[in-house]
Amino acid sequence: MDTQQKSSWAWDLSQDIYQEYVATYAHVNEARVDWRPIITTATSAILDNALSTTDLSTVEDVVSYISSQMWHTETTGLVNNVTFKSSQTPLICDPMSTLIYGYASCTGVSILFADALKYVGIAARMCDTPT
């Protein structure tokens, strides 16, 4: 609930949408690890850097800015840059593994990005498409 109160773009979310697409902890069958403190630090660093230099007045602005910044250690303070590497699921798909290894396949990268958006109060879920 703290996220919803801090983020102007989350103020208009209904309670149902917030509970289903922001407050949920997991997406699929990824390992349940305590990734929130790390994502909190990373996304806070990104947004703190942006607020003085970038207009983040819409959800689209926030999503675009986080997407452009969250993969690099210099903007997030994370240990590793995060890159795409195919064929990593199911071994590396939870946010903590992605951050520690510095890479994941599309599943792991999608989960990490959706979790970062959820932390800042943007409704997000990972989706999969059949091959």
SS3 83: strand
CA gap 23, 79 in Å, rounded? 26
Structure token digits, residue 113: 């990005």
- Its pTM stands at 0.85
Structure token digits, residue 96: 């903590």
Structure token digits, residue 23: 């407050």
Structure token digits, residue 76: 């997030």
Structure token digits, residue 83: 């890159």
98 closest CA partner among 58, 106, 67: 106
Q: For residue 129, what are the contacts with CB-CB under 8 A and spacing of at least 6?
A: none
Q: Is the pLDDT of residue 1 over 60?
A: no
Digit-coded pLDDT (tens) for 64-84: 999 998 888 777 777 788 999
Digit-coded pLDDT (tens) for 74-119: 777 777 889 999 988 888 889 999 988 999 998 999 999 999 999 8
